[in-house]
Amino acid sequence: MGTFPFQKTLDEFHLEEQQSLSQKQLNHLRELTWIEQLYNIILLGPPGIGKTHLSVGLGLEAINQGHKVMFITMGELVHALKTQEISRKAQTKMKRIRTADLVIIDDLMFMAMDQHEANLFFHLINDLYNRSSIILTSNKAPKEWGELLGDPAITTAILDRLIHRAEVIHLNGDSYRMKHRATIFTEKV
């Protein structure tokens, strides 16, 4: 249901490169009991270490188990929230988000929000609270979200709802993309 940026399964996730997540923990996430329990998963860490891959893999697993899943980047979400009053496409997207069992918001807080955007985001999180599970990926720790949301009261209210029932997973290590990047140059002889 969600428009994933790519189709990568949990089996393709390079767990051996991720010291902060065990096979047992990954298996527990794969069971998806946390969706029925309305738990959120917050994946934190620097760019290129597999946060989006892990969220997509869990999303595909959820779809295979019959859950309604919606994947959206934070940029797309803010745009949809701001234009839902005037755009039928944005209205449809927001309706799908509000009726999903699992909402994946990728790259949370990569950009600062104004007061209006932060308010709209709060209302969405409030709508999803106790109704859907959320996976968030972010390279900023929750304590840094305040400066991006601008308003301390809204930040506290959002964090309160997100973290009430949440598993926060700090992924670390080197960027997979940088370690396995292709080069146009051949090896020096």
Cβ-proximal residues to 126 (8 Å cutoff; 6+ apart), any chain: 157, 161
**Among 105, 126, 104, 102, which residue's Cα sits nearest to residue 34?**
102
Q: How confident is the model at residue 184 (pLDDT cuts 50, 70, 90)?
A: low
Picking from 45, 35, 33, 67, the residue whose alpha carbon sits closest to that of residue 171 is 45
Residues making up the chain, counted from first to last: 189
Q: Is residue 175 predicted with pLDDT exceeding 50?
A: no
Instruction: Give strand pairing partners of 68.
Output: none
Return d(Cα 66, Cα 14) in angstroms, integer: 25
Give per-residue pLDDT as tens, 142-154. Answer: 888 887 887 888 8
Angle between helices 74-83 and 115-128 (to 10 degrees): 100
170 has a pLDDT exceeding 60: yes
pLDDT surpassing 70 at residue 187? no
Question: Residue 20: what pLDDT?
Answer: 81
Q: What's the rounded Cα separation, in Å, for the pair 42 and 8?
A: 19
Has residue 12 got a pLDDT over 60?
yes
Domain 21-177: which topology? Rossmann fold (3.40.50)
How many other CB atoms sit within 10 Å of the CB of residue 80? 21
pLDDT-derived band at 14 (thresholds 50, 70, 90) equals confident
Is the pLDDT at 173 greater than 80? The verdict is no
Predicted model pTM: 0.88
Of 6-20, 23-37, 75-89, 98-112, least confident by mean pLDDT is 6-20
Look at the alpha carbons of 113, 115, 116, 118 in this order and tell me if their dihedral is positive or negative. Answer: positive
Provide the pLDDT for residue 142.
83
pLDDT for position 179: 45
**With pLDDT > 70 as the criterion, what percentage of the chain qualifies?**
89
One-character DSSP codes across 100-158: -SEEEEESTTSS---HHHHHHHHHHHHHHTTT-EEEEEESS-HHHHHHHH--HHHHHHH
- On whether the CB atoms of residues 125 and 142 are closer than 8 A, the answer is no
Note the pLDDT tens digit of each residue in 86-142.
Answer: 999 999 999 999 999 999 999 986 678 888 999 999 999 999 999 999 999 999 888
pLDDT at 19 over 80: no
H or E, element range at 166: strand 166-170
The answer to whether 111 touches 79, Cβ cutoff 8 Å, is no
Q: What is the mean pLDDT of residues 75-94?
A: 95
Model confidence at 158: pLDDT above 70: yes
Query: Quick one: pLDDT at residue 2?
Result: 54
